[in-house]
Structure 1
Amino acid sequence: METQAMARARRWLADQGVSQVRDGWLSTEVPDVLLTAGQVAHSWAGDVFAEDVQATDQVRLAFGLLDLLDEYWVTCEIRFANKSAEGPLPADVLWDGYRQRLEAARDAEALTYSLWVDWFEDRDTAATAFAEVLGNDIDQVVAEPSEALLRRARRVLECSGPVPWPVKEPTYRTSVRLPALHPALFKGLRASYHDVYGDLEPAAALALLDQLDLPAGTQHLAELRRVLVEGHKNHYRSPRAWDDAIRSCS
């Protein structure tokens, strides 16, 4: 079902001469060429932030375009605008846009990928981004775990590997209190070890891992526990440790 934000984005694209057809998109600039959603995002998403409207309206329009196209590149343009000379973007509208979509039932891969590789891998933005999309709300999630809040928490935990350990550990510790978050927290801990920019403290991570109630046969649980017991902080710092753990646990 098309939302108001998507409808506004569709009208804005129409003003740019871009319209959706059965198998893609058409532009009046090249009427004989069928465009993909990705091509539309790369060609027009940045223009949203050149519109002569308030920054809050620019951000809302950009998120509507993200909803309509479902393309990661739209999130790139949002971040570029935030870091531009005219930035930063209004934080309340920016992060509310992320939170709302992380809570929605529809697929959120573009958003979680954006958090992972852009906001969370950047040490200048990781703490703020993690706090805004989950850290500030984790007590509410645990106390009043609605489906929407759980959906957001799971998605953020799973892609939180690059977030600095001191930033995410308090949220991880609070998440342990809610068994419904244990599988997502396990994925977060595993990513904290395996991601190129993953960050964890082995002893603290092991203490959390040992509190998780996970299904029998959870893949890589034994291997992760072994490397943490041995004090390894990251797969790429000790590339043979994981292979050794696999052989030991098989």
Structure 2
Amino acid sequence: MQAEEAARRWLADQGVSQVGDGWVSDEKPDTSLTANQVAHSWAGDVFAEDLDAADQVRLAFGLLDLLDEYWVTCEIRFANDAEGPFPADVLWDGYRRRLEADRDAEAVTYSLWVDWFEDHATSATAFAEVLGNDIGQVVAERSEALLRRARRVLECSGPVRWPVKELTYRTATRLPALHSAVFRGLLTSFHDVYGDLEPAAALALLDQLDLPPNTQHLAALRHVLVAGHKNHHHSPGAWDDAVRSCS
């Protein structure tokens, strides 16, 4: 909340304020702006502020809290590539905190999925920072915040290379509360365009999960893994064949 209020004050300094469900700028006070329009017009300006890099990142995350728009995460990534790298502790703590928060995190998980996990130059570091380094702590402590973060990361981790995520997946199977999320991770590892898994190892993990027998796509996923398929897009027709065989 403190970061969000700092971002609100910063926007006010730019002549932008919230009115009802929308936003207005001093330049065009009669024109209502959406949060998305505010993000596209002003989020990048955070990184031109006379602040050190860590405070710029904190301000940007506050803007994300305030606007809840994916584009803010894009500006963070752009600035990290152009001006950074940002201090890793500040950057990844920003992601971890929002993954743990009891509020919608779609903008954050989408950012991880398409900007950090699909890029093989960044996926290993990103996955380690938001979950891989902490999975032992998650399983040991089992706090709601840590479980929330783990579920969200596992479910969008399909594009992460299998050797990077396999140990985290295996550790997560020790906790029944994460079984559904591991299943979603395996499913997206098969279906995502950039998804990655090793069929035999993925099948061994799948067989350890305690899931309702009528779980949607469970039988079909087991079928394609038994057949040795690694990815939906590398084996056209395999999934449809599996669905027909399991129906």
Determine helix, strand or coil for the equivalent of 2:29: strand
Give TM-score, length-normalised by structure 1: 0.98
Alignment correspondent of 2:123: 126
- Counterpart of 1:75 (choices 65, 70, 73) is 73
Matched ranges for 1:59-138 at <5 A: 59-84=57-82, 86-138=83-135
- Please name the residue that 2:232 is paired with: 235
- The equivalent residue for 1:167 is 164
2: distance between equivalents of 1:20 and 1:199? 43
> Deviations for 1:142-171, whole angstroms, at most 9, x for unmatched residues?
111100000000000000000000000010
Q: Please give the secondary structure, in 2, of the residue aligned with 1:143.
A: helix
CA distance in 1 between partners of 2:104 and 2:217 (Å): 26
2:228 is the counterpart of 1:248: no
- In structure 2, the residue matched to 1:149 is 146
Identity in percent: 82
| TM-score, normalised with respect to structure 2 | 0.99
The Cα shift of 1:52 comes to: 0.4
Provide the residue aligned with 1:19 in structure 2.
Answer: 17
Q: Which runs of 4+ in 1 moved over 3 A?
A: none
Q: Indicate the SS of the match to 1:33.
A: coil
Structure 2: stretches of 5+ with no match in the other structure: none
1-structure distance, mates of 2:21, 2:239: 45
Shift of 1:92: 0.3
Deviation string 1:163-198 (CA, Å, 9 cap, x unpaired) is 000000010111111111000000000000000000
| 2:40 counterpart of 1:42 | yes
User: Does 2:6 align with 1:8?
Assistant: yes
Unmatched tracts of structure 1, length 5 or more: none
Give the letter aligned to residue 135 of structure 1: G
> How much does 1:29 deviate?
1.6
Q: CA deviation at 1:31?
A: 1.6
Offset at 1:23? Answer: 2.7
Q: Tell whether 2:208 aligns with 1:211.
A: yes
- Alignment coverage as a number of residue pairs: 247
2:193 to 183, 193, 196: 196
CA offset digits 1:175-223 (Å, max 9, x no partner) = 1111110000000000000000000000000000000001231000000
Q: d(CA) in 2 for partners of 1:69 and 1:239? A: 40
Equivalent position SS for 2:12 = helix
SS of equivalent residue, structure 1 residue 32: coil
